[in-house]
Structure 1
Amino acid sequence: MNGQQRSAISPGMTVDIVLKQDQRTGKLTRGIVKELLTKSPQHPHGIKVRLSSGAVGRVKHIVPASETNDQSFE
């Protein structure tokens, strides 16, 4: 799922973001959303968020809960 709709993103979710300095390369950073910084309901480049690590960037992909709670290490 992409990160262009503010309503699809909430604190505590795991997302992949692109940092400002990584926009040219498209390198993604994964983390947990601490707060949403974009106020509008949607944004064509992704909703801007702050991760729990302090990193700020635009959401490119919302990681499904099944990937974040992977318990297939039995």
Structure 2
Amino acid sequence: MNGQKRNQIKPGDKVDIVLKKDQQTGELTRGVVKDLLTKSANHPHGIKVRLEDGQVGRVKHIVK
């Protein structure tokens, strides 16, 4: 699943995100969601989240 729909992501999910500094390269960072930061139901570049380790980025994949 991609990370464009807010209702598909919840705290505790394992996800791959793109950090702001990695947007040019598209390098992914894996972690566990702590908070959802995007308020809208959808976002074309991915829902912005904060991981448990404090990193912030947009979800590209939800790991099942």
Between the two structures, name the one with larger relative contact order (CA 8 Å, sep ≥ 6): 2
TM-score over 0.5 for the alignment?
A: yes
Equivalenced residues, count: 64
Q: CA deviation at 1:37?
A: 0.1
- Taking the aligned partners of 1:23 and 1:61, their CA distance within structure 2 comes to 15
Q: Where do residues 23-42 of structure 1 align in structure 2 (5 Å cutoff)?
A: 23-42=23-42
More helix by share: 1
Match of 1:17 in 2: 17
Matched residue, 2:56: 56
- Aligned-pair Cα RMSD in Å: 0.2
Task: Determine which structure has the larger strand proportion and give its number.
Answer: 2
Gaps of 5+ in 2: none
Instruction: Specify the code of the residue in structure 2 equivalent to 1:54.
Output: G
The percent of aligned pairs where both chains have the same amino acid is 73
TM-score by length of 2: 0.99
Which ranges of structure 1 fall in alignment gaps of 5 or more residues? 65-74
